[in-house]
Structure 1
C-alpha cells in the first residue's frame, strides 16, 4: 500500500503549476502563441521540486472569481502534455486541479495521482467515480456555486460550522462513490465564495476543520485577493502576506499548503509547525 500524500508527520507543500492564459496570479506565464508552452511549464515545475515541493498541482482552468467554465476537451489539451512530461521527469506525486471527470480520467491515466477539485465533486459528480476507479487521492474543496458567481455577496450565518457541514456532506458522497476514506483531504476553499472575514476565520481554525471531519486539511491562500485588501498589494507582491497566512494556518492545524512560491512556502510551513509543537509542549 502506497504512503499517503498528506502524511501526519510533515506539512505538505503543494506547488502550483498553472497552464492557463487567465489565472489571477500567473495566467499566461506558460502560454505561447495560443497554446501551452510545455517545456517552460515543466521547467517551472522542476524548479518547484528543487525548492522543496512535495506535490505538483497542474491546473488548466482558471477558477478565479468571475471565470467562465472551460470545455473539458480544451482543459485536457492544456494539462495532459505537462502531466505526461512530469510523470517522466519528476519523482513527485502529480495532482490535477480540475472539476471535471473527463479531465480527471485523462490526467490519472497519464500519471497523476491526486485530483484536486475545488468544487468537492459538486460540479461533476462523475469525477468521484473516476477517482475511485484509479484508487487515487482526492482533495475536496469547499465552493458554493460556480467561479463566475461565487463572489456575489457570499453569506454565512456561521462560516466555520457551515463549511464543516458542507465539506462533510461532500466527503460522504465521495466515500459512497468508492473513494477510499484514507485517500481524502479537505480544503476550506479560501477565496472561493467567501469574504475577507470568512477567509480569516477559516485560516485561523484550520485544525478544527480537520478534527471535525477526521481528514487532513489543505489550505490555499497564496496571493489571494483578500490578502491584497489587507495589505494593499497587487497579486505579484503578496508573497509576504501569503507566508504569514500560511504560517498561521499551519500553527492552527493545517496539514498542507498550496503555494506559488514554494521556497517561501517551505519556510512558512516550518515556522508554523515549530509554533504548533511549542504550543503542544507548553500545554503538557
Structure 2
C-alpha cells in the first residue's frame, strides 16, 4: 500500500511526499536525500522509510543526533502498519497509508489545483474595475490557501498602507490592529518582502506569544507580498481558525505565482486610474504640424 508523508516545517509551507510500493525514502537535511528537510535539528541523513518483505512500511533511524520518534516514542526502528505521527529532531510529520486509488486522486487533485490557479489568474484580466480586481485577488488567495478570511493592503500616496479589500474581518478592527489575527505576519511581509506561512500557529513562538493570535484561535495563515518594480506594493493576508488541509509547498508555489501576476495587474490598473481626470494632451489639428 502507498503512503503519504506530510512534513510540517516551522515557519514554512508543508512538504508532502507520496511513497509508492517498493520505494526507499531517505530523509534528512542533505540535498541528496529523497526528502530534504531543511531544519537545523535534522541530521544530514536522519532516517529512512522502506517496505519490508510483507509490504509493511518501516522507519529506521540512521544514527541521527536528535533522534526519530513514532507517536511520541523514540525509536531506532519501528513498523508503521497504520497512520502515525513521526518526529525527526524538532520537525513533526504525519504518516498516512493510502491505497493506489487515493494516491491517484492526490495526483489528480494537485493537477486540478494547478489548473484552478491558472484559471484564477486569467480571471483577473476580466475584472470589471479596480475594486473588482482587488476583491478577486483576495478571494483567490483565500481559496488557494484553504483560508476563510483575509484582507489586502496597498501602499498609498503618503507611504503608508490602506485596507483596500476585506473578507470576514471587520475593517474598523483592522484599522486599529485589534483583529484576531497576526499583525506581526503582515509587518514582517511588508518589511522583508517574503511570504510567511504557518500551518501550526500554536507552535510558532513568534506567533503564539501574541495575544491576538491566542485570542483568535488561529490554525493556519499565509501572508504574501505584492511586489512591483518600485518595491513592495502591498500585502495579502489570509487565515483560518478551523481545521483544514496543510498549506503545502505546491500551494505556496501557486500562491506566489498568482500574487506576482496580480501585482502586475494591480500596478497597471492603478497607473490607469491615476490618469482619470488628469489634463489631456490635445492632438494637433488635421493637416497642421505641431511646432
Task: Give the TM-score normalised by the residue count of structure 2.
Answer: 0.26
Q: Could you say which structure has the higher helix fraction?
A: 1
Q: Could you say which structure has the higher strand fraction?
A: 2
Higher relative contact order (Cα pairs below 8 Å, separated by 6+ residues): 1
Task: Give the TM-score normalised by the residue count of structure 1.
Answer: 0.26
